[in-house]
Structure 1
Amino acid sequence: SQTEVRTQLSKAFRLHGLSLHPEATRTILAAMEHSGQAAVNPAQVIDRLVEAVLRLPLNSCHVQRSEIESLVAEQLLSGTAAAAAAIAADSPWLQVFDAFDPAAPNFRYDRDSRKLAPAPALPRPTSRSESGAESRVQLMRQRYEFLLQRLMRAPGFADCDPLTVGVGGVTGGVSGVIGGSIGKGSGGALRTVEFAKASGPDKQLVVLGMLTRSAEPNRWFLEDPTGVMLLDVSRCRFNEGILAEGCHVLAEGCYRQSEASFLMLEAGLPPAERPTDTRAALGSLNTFGGPATTCARLDARLGERERSSHAHYLVFVSDLWLDDSEVMSKLSLMLTGYSDSPPTGLILCGDFLSPVGRHAPDRVEQLRTGLRRLQALIDSCKPVQQHSTVVLIPGPSDCPLSPLLPYPPLSEAVAGDLGQQQQQRGGGRVVLGSNPCRLQFCTQEIVVYRQQLCEKLCRQALSCPAEGDELSGHFVRTVLSQGHLSPLPLHVSPVLWNLDRTLRLCPLPDLLVLADSACRHFQLRHADCLCVNPGCFKESGFSFHVYLPRRREIQSSCIAD
């Protein structure tokens, strides 16, 4: 009966130190009655609801109706036929989330609960000066702590916390975690820089820290929240990846007081973590984007919808030079070829001007003209206009007045009416996206980032792959291990301090598009994350990538002469 369900509901919340306002209770009971779940398994439904409420940023232990209305609709009404029909009819297959959206999820890692907690709401910054010095400090601390919490779940580092005095032990040094031969079985402890500087030369340690360097040549340092120490890399063995300034590394060695330096014997990147393991540890909070409170992967309705998406696919094109007549001709040919079966999403990445055009004095007018040509091309292909979501992601040269990451969408002054195209009945629309840009196809999370990242990492590297090695594999491993799209010092890759979270990859997405024209096109899978690079459209022989969400695979395509 409803009285018994009310009693169960009250007891479940009281067990967690919470009390429900009478109106909140009536709202939950009404939703359970409407969905038919009150008569099936009320205890399971109540437990799921309590878990979801505990993840909310509650103001007090008294839960109000206004705090849980949206959560109740999502948790209890998600299985109703009306809700499923609403999703099928109104929700687009491909959703686009802007990095500058003030409603975007913002979380920090809470060391006490070892969970993600909502970060304080901050106004949208327009310049680095508006962020404040505290934001700069929190930026570096959060980069470190997000890596540390992941490392403490890795085999060999389980439950060791270097920031807790007297805790920490590693079963095999750096080698035991990232693979290698030096120090295997050493049992070195995971410690902080402060602890390492107070230890003796016979004490072998493993330290997680960020690589930095001074203006003097060959002077590298390791830095963490407790301090900084000089590195001696003369005898160091470097493992896979690009170990660059700004990257966090695991350094194994000992501190020599006489030399006032840390003799680094082996160094490597922290291991990447599969997204399922991250969600299992940190909870089901939606850290990606959108109005939902839980991540899309747990939404049964979206999962069912995805399983029926046999005919849907996404097309990724990078470095689409709109001022190049040959490029526009090939693009027209590509759109014509898709007339019979238009893509669900057409993601076009900059730079939108050729190397000659982007250095011309009238480059803004050239860009404006090129975008008008693109609009005319889309309008001339009615199936694409009516059924495809076209996303324009600016490149580094398309935002000369905004050198700070993330890059804002193309301005309306440049794009004109292109970004004002309303969604058609079949789903067609044009979206001016930020860089990086987050896309969601049903339950799948997709991140698109256009940057010359591989080249920047190599320029700042302490250790690069040996000649003859496949650079793309090391590049992908570096980005995923850092869990960040810009693991570089701020003077090399400046970031809006308050928006550094938009560059974070935690958990890793299902698909990561690293559109890097300086690197050859590739497709690799690491830690259950598919990483691809379409390559420069023209210089790669007019090649592009097609993603099949139903099969979760990439197909390389090109436009023949």
Structure 2
Amino acid sequence: MNKSNIISAFSIHGFTLRREALNYLQQEIDSLGVDQRKEALQSILDHVNGQNLSSSMLEKSVIESAVKNFYHANDVDEVPLNVFDAFSFVRYTYDLDSKRFIKWDTLHKKPSSLHGSPDSKANIFREIFKVIQQRTIRHHLFAPPAISEGSNQNQAYTLFTVEHVLGSSSKDTNIIVLGMLTQLKEGQFYLEDPTGVVRLNLSKTTYKGGLFTENSIVMVEGNYEDRVFYVSALGFPPAESADVSLSFFQTFHPASSEHSYIHRLSDDLKRSEQIHGDAMFVFLSDVWLDQLKVMQKLQILFAGYSLMPPTVFVLIGNFLSLSGVGSSSKVFEECFSKLGQLISEFPRLVTESQFVIVPGPDDPGVPYVLPRPAIPFSYVGDFKKKVPNAIFASNPCRLQYYSQDILIFREDIISKMCRNSIYTPWEYEEKVDIPSLFVKSVIGNAHLLPLALNVAPRYWEYDYALWLYPLPDVVVCADKYDPYTVTSNNCTFFNPGSLPRSNFAFKVYFPAARQVEDSEISDETLS
């Protein structure tokens, strides 16, 4: 590859290479095969774009780091499965000036802390609003066409701010505003964005599908008059698939490895998924280890899979049937020891399957605050000795399997959102698909918990661990609600259901086919 091609590629992105950096980069690219050179140059450019550089003049050290990243990224398929803890996710912030995501530590020079400052609470809503705003203004409905053809079909809608609405001297009609739904006074809702707040009148509002809760980010359409915004329609911001998000922000990914973002864009890893076409992930929730019937069903399950071990068993809490008992270390320890003994009776499962343990709301640890750390080893007895390859993960956590990103979350979220929704569609419609409304709501908000903090407490400075941007390939929302599977924007949401409450139902995911299968533990065999 000649130098002019390299210079041109970097200049398009606003960068200039110093002579020694250019010579080094050309030498490294020329050492690759002809079919690899274009991919290598793009990967190096992506890495440079993801850095918070103070100058557009690139030194050799910057290029060396980018080249090292490229070589490291191409080795990622050596480990097909990675489990990422929520507290190890990389925190990003969207920079309005450069229109890109920058690592929070790089910009603010301080790591996240469990004990946040007063600004941390405001940052929860400010940061997720910026994510949704940049996604919305890029949508074809709001982005002006590159070339006007004089047709109304090409005219984009205009997205206004609250400040614009408040500053209007005349009656504005049919305007659209993006903001957060708040209740500053009892029974009175407002729309808030970084520029201001306006009172809403929802008496004649048409709701465009979803579960609209306080602190959720919504789009309102209507008229502004006499200091009140009369809402004619209320809906969620347009969603965006991961393919679209990653086409703009290839270096933005919440997993802990700085190289891990590359896995979703790698054709090599996608081919590896197809080679391992028999891989399967088994998901079970509310695995009540203190119930004899549950332990008997688990024995049937493990025996059924012992001849063909799954790639991963994901066991999700709660792990005891009675709330509050989880605080008793003795009871919990005894139950996990029994589970370890049961699994050890099937040597192939111990050696060939990975076990991932995700805590529930009532399991040991800090109660009812998210993200929730992994179950402490002091509570699991000798389980780790019997099942040494088990991983105790946080709630939520992420699994990276070759090119796929799988997010696991345990919370009874649907019931909370239904209870706190300002509009209850089931009161006005005969048939309502609650899981689909839930999925639409969380995707629209790019967040697993679009709820007020008093309803869904979380650590202020770790709220980003609950973001849904870019969308994962799979989101497992383990809930005591009935099992469901919903696909939207190329992302599959499913709930395995509460094992004892759903006739011992569970879900099996096949990564190669990207399909979810409903399963059930019968008294004798798997069905």
The TM-score, its normalising length taken from structure 1, stands at 0.83
Name the residue aligned to 1:454. 414
In the TM superposition, residue 256 of structure 1 has moved relative to its aligned partner by: 2.4
State the one-letter code of the partner of 2:101.
L
Give 2:507's match in structure 1, choosing from 536, 545, 560: 545
Name the SS for the 1:462 alignment partner. coil
Task: Measure, in 1, the Cα distance between the counterparts of 2:387 and 2:68.
Answer: 28
Q: Deviations over 1:211-255 (max 9, x none)?
A: 112452x31121111122222111111111111111111111122
2:363 is the alignment partner of 1:398: yes
Name the SS for the 2:290 alignment partner. coil
Task: Measure, in 2, the Cα distance between the counterparts of 1:146 and 1:318.
Answer: 31
In the TM superposition, residue 197 of structure 1 has moved relative to its aligned partner by: 2.4
Task: Measure, in 1, the Cα distance between the counterparts of 2:40 and 2:91.
Answer: 27
Matches within 5 A, 1:419-498: 419=384, 429-467=389-427, 468-498=431-461
Structure 1 runs not aligned, ≥5 long: 161-170, 177-184, 424-428
Conserved? CA contact 2:407–2:475, under 8 Å: yes
In the TM superposition, residue 508 of structure 1 has moved relative to its aligned partner by: 0.7
Give 1:411's match in structure 2, choosing from 376, 394, 415: 376
In the TM superposition, residue 488 of structure 1 has moved relative to its aligned partner by: 0.8
Give 1:527's match in structure 2, choosing from 489, 506, 511: 489
2:191 is the alignment partner of 1:191: no
Name the SS for the 1:243 alignment partner. coil
In the TM superposition, residue 389 of structure 1 has moved relative to its aligned partner by: 1.2
Conserved? CA contact 1:350–1:393, under 8 Å: yes
Name the SS for the 1:398 alignment partner. coil
The more displaced of 130-139 and 524-533 is 130-139
Give 2:210's match in structure 1, choosing from 241, 258, 263: 241
2:230 is the alignment partner of 1:263: yes
Name the residue aligned to 1:209. 179
Matches within 5 A, 1:125-164: 127=114, 130-159=115-144
In the TM superposition, residue 11 of structure 1 has moved relative to its aligned partner by: 7.1
Cα distance 1:293–1:350, how it changes in 2: closer, same or farther (>3 A)?
Answer: closer
State the one-letter code of the partner of 2:423.
S
The more displaced of 207-216 and 226-235 is 207-216
2:105 is the alignment partner of 1:120: yes
Name the residue aligned to 1:348. 315
Conserved? CA contact 2:270–2:402, under 8 Å: yes
Conserved? CA contact 2:101–2:249, under 8 Å: yes
2:91 is the alignment partner of 1:96: no
Name the residue aligned to 1:386. 351
Cα distance 1:392–1:21, how it changes in 2: closer, same or farther (>3 A)?
Answer: farther
Give 1:55's match in structure 2, choosing from 42, 47, 50: 50
Cα distance 1:156–1:208, how it changes in 2: closer, same or farther (>3 A)?
Answer: same
State the one-letter code of the partner of 2:165.
A
Give 1:219's match in structure 2, choosing from 174, 188, 192: 188
In the TM superposition, residue 46 of structure 1 has moved relative to its aligned partner by: 3.6
In the TM superposition, residue 416 of structure 1 has moved relative to its aligned partner by: 3.9
In the TM superposition, residue 62 of structure 1 has moved relative to its aligned partner by: 5.6
Cα distance 1:360–1:311, how it changes in 2: closer, same or farther (>3 A)?
Answer: closer
The more displaced of 232-241 and 359-368 is 359-368
Task: Measure, in 1, the Cα distance between the counterparts of 2:15 and 2:139.
Answer: 33
Conserved? CA contact 1:399–1:407, under 8 Å: no
User: Identity percentage over the alignment?
Assistant: 30
In the TM superposition, residue 395 of structure 1 has moved relative to its aligned partner by: 0.9
Give 1:330's match in structure 2, choosing from 297, 318, 325: 297
Cα distance 1:533–1:401, how it changes in 2: closer, same or farther (>3 A)?
Answer: same
Q: Deviations over 1:155-197 (max 9, x none)?
A: 321159xxxxxxxxxx89xxx9xxxxxxxx9x97421222222
Name the residue aligned to 2:341. 376
Conserved? CA contact 2:208–2:235, under 8 Å: yes
Q: Deviations over 1:487-520 (max 9, x none)?
A: 1111211221221111111111111111111x21
The more displaced of 519-528 and 368-377 is 368-377
Task: Measure, in 1, the Cα distance between the counterparts of 2:342 and 2:396.
Answer: 25
Structure 2 runs not aligned, ≥5 long: 146-151
Cα distance 1:432–1:295, how it changes in 2: closer, same or farther (>3 A)?
Answer: same
Cα distance 1:549–1:11, how it changes in 2: closer, same or farther (>3 A)?
Answer: closer
In the TM superposition, residue 288 of structure 1 has moved relative to its aligned partner by: 3.8
Task: Measure, in 1, the Cα distance between the counterparts of 2:471 and 2:326.
Answer: 41
Name the residue aligned to 1:511. 474
Conserved? CA contact 2:181–2:189, under 8 Å: yes
Q: Deviations over 1:60-119 (max 9, x none)?
A: 45645654555324435766xxx5xxx66x41x321001111xx3222212223222222
The TM-score, its normalising length taken from structure 2, stands at 0.88
Cα distance 1:96–1:421, how it changes in 2: closer, same or farther (>3 A)?
Answer: farther
Name the residue aligned to 1:18. 16
Task: Measure, in 2, the Cα distance between the counterparts of 1:516 and 1:58.
Answer: 43
Name the residue aligned to 1:321. 288
Name the residue aligned to 2:464. 501
The more displaced of 460-469 and 441-450 is 460-469
Q: Deviations over 1:407-432 (max 9, x none)?
A: 11111221345457787xxxxx1111
Task: Measure, in 2, the Cα distance between the counterparts of 1:114 and 1:510.
Answer: 25
State the one-letter code of the partner of 1:538.
P
Aligned residues: 510
Name the SS for the 1:385 alignment partner. helix
Name the SS for the 2:53 alignment partner. coil
Name the residue aligned to 1:359. 324
Cα distance 1:132–1:152, how it changes in 2: closer, same or farther (>3 A)?
Answer: same
Cα distance 1:382–1:239, how it changes in 2: closer, same or farther (>3 A)?
Answer: same
2:277 is the alignment partner of 1:304: no
Cα distance 1:106–1:295, how it changes in 2: closer, same or farther (>3 A)?
Answer: farther
Cα distance 1:118–1:359, how it changes in 2: closer, same or farther (>3 A)?
Answer: closer
Name the residue aligned to 1:166. none
Conserved? CA contact 2:255–2:261, under 8 Å: no
Name the residue aligned to 2:149. none
Name the SS for the 2:283 alignment partner. strand
Give 2:96's match in structure 1, choosing from 111, 119, 136: 111
